[in-house]
A and B are shown apart, each in its own frame.
Chain A
């Protein structure tokens, strides 16, 4: 009996190792490739090589990667701030007040989160052409609200509901107004949850590709869409591509680790805590 459990534990250990290795290998491969020279890339058997930063230098000076990094940052920060302000207010309204058809409305808002990007692209493309918003940061900030606001609203509602109502009631008895109670008492308490929500918004906006690809071209292009530059007809420039990919991915991975505790909650819209 004891021997069989021991074998079982060894099998578990080996399988876990394989799974983890499989998960991180492509990431590892990408990062190392970004430090490889062309000669080392075309031979897949190169595991040990002399690292070079020439790929990074090229994408910074020749491909203007900082411009796209800045674009991404503007769009992501803009959409995150707007959706967190609006979404949190709505979330508080849903968490604290009773009104008719409340749950219908809340779930209706959640369903809007599922709007497929390729269905959103067409109307936004035409409408943006009409008002001259194509290829601006603003259009992406607006479009990203479609998935960020419903998301923030749902996640934040859960965080608000975890705060005991008595604390707010005490503040109101002390003469604070509704708005003051919200900003001075409730918001500080919900800050950790808010931070997690901000990061999750950041991740999903940063990673967005389809909408950014079709609604921007030169000026407002975001980082993920620049990878298409390197899929040139004359052959793919793998080293530079890997460098751009690394720069694009790194912030998201770091952020994802930061919110690890709340990740499942975010992924399931608060259904699982």
Chain B
């Protein structure tokens, strides 16, 4: 059936997109890798750069750039904590929404959209204000209720504070996806469970969770890919500081290129590592999506 004329239409429909993506995604990726093999810096003539081979990567892995390991470490901790906590809260909220007689359920669900639809930098700013030690609302409440004052964006708390904002912003994402997952579950296993006299907890553990497994995996993967790329919130809240307590990988790249040193070649190596990590996670996501799509 797919004869020669058919193939012509495939090209007609798909080729433009393919060419554009080649130019705007693949080419820049290759170019990034190329730059990471040079000593290019801000303000340097492009022609004067020297090809240094894998030196930038060697420096990262031989410990010549200890800040890289610090930022890799906190990035990974952040990915695990934010994704995990958001999942647990999201699951809880989704369960709350599963009640039968909740008045105005769809309206309440739509309110959940607000945190994740809000422009991320704006989210950062609003929380920066809430965290403010002089006229921030949080300290005002804490001081009046318990007489304590927390330096939210200080060295010891900054990481946690950034994490809290991310949880606020993205827990609704988890909740909405898991709730949609609940809605898509078939009724038969539950009827069978009811006949067999399963308790609520047993039903949840042995019927709901296994059925929900693909959706849980999907939401975890989507969130962890986003958390790896994390930039907007810490940029606004802390700029990676104090010290390097919130300098996630993206911020490390930012500091090396635009903020202080202008070492574009070295930063490109860091960015390439970030890209590779994202590619690995995306590959897992995609393997997994392919299986899910085949089933449905």
Contact = CB atoms under 8 A, between A and B. Distances in A.
Given A89-B14, A252-B119, A118 B130 contact: no
Nearest to A33: B129
B122 A227 contact: yes
A191 interface: no
Nearest to A104: B290
A220 interface: no
Contact of B184 (A22, A93, A122, A272): A272
B118 to A, nearest CB: 5
Given A44-B136, A115-B25, A116-B275, A257 B110 contact: yes
Q: Which of A15, A87, A124, A209 has the most CB of B within 10 A?
A: A209
B118 A27 contact: yes
B201 interface: no
A19 B96 contact: yes
B112 interface: yes
A164 interface: no
Interface in B268-294: 268, 271-272, 274-275, 278-279, 281-283, 286, 289-290, 292-293
Contacts of B108: 16, 20
A117 B271 CA distance: 10
B193 interface: no
Nearest to B117: A256
A89 B20 contact: no
B9 A97 contact: yes
A198 B174 CA distance: 23
A44 B10 contact: no
Given A99-B7, A271-B292, A114 B119 contact: no
Interface string A205-218: 01101100010000
A271 B13 CA distance: 23
Nearest to A206: B119
Contacts, number: 261
A99 B253 contact: no
A30 interface: yes
B250 A271 contact: no
B218 A268 contact: yes
Contacts of B111: 20, 23-24
A97 B6 contact: yes
A245 B6 CA distance: 51
A253 B118 CA distance: 7
B24 interface: yes
Given A97-B13, A210-B231, A227 B2 contact: no
B257 A146 contact: no
A94 B278 CA distance: 25
Contact of A15 (B16, B96, B264, B268): B96
A27 B126 CA distance: 8
A136 to B, nearest CB: 15
Q: Which of A107, A260, A271 has the most CB of B within 10 A?
A: A271
B115 to A, nearest CB: 6
A9 B102 CA distance: 9
A65 to B, nearest CB: 14
A125 B2 CA distance: 43
A150 B21 contact: yes
Interface string A6-24: 0001001001100110111
Given A89-B17, A252-B117, A267-B222, A245 B93 contact: no
B207 interface: no
Contacts of B114: 23-24, 27, 253, 256
B81 interface: no
Interface string B119-160: 111110111111000111100100000000000000000000
Shortest 4 CB-CB distances between A and B: which pairs? A93-B13, A256-B117, A90-B17, A123-B28
22 contacts: A12-B102, A23-B115, A27-B118, A44-B136, A86-B16, A89-B17, A93-B14, A103-B290, A116-B229, A118-B271, A120-B32, A122-B268, A126-B46, A127-B31, A179-B12, A210-B235, A227-B122, A227-B236, A249-B122, A257-B113, A267-B173, A269-B289
Interface of A: 9, 12, 15-16, 19-20, 22-24, 26-27, 29-30, 33, 41-45, 86-87, 89-90, 92-94, 97-99, 103, 105, 107, 109-112, 114-127, 130, 142-143, 145-146, 149-150, 153, 178-179, 182, 203, 206-207, 209-210, 214, 224-225, 227, 231, 236, 238, 241-242, 245, 248-249, 252-253, 255-257, 260, 263-264, 267-269, 271-273
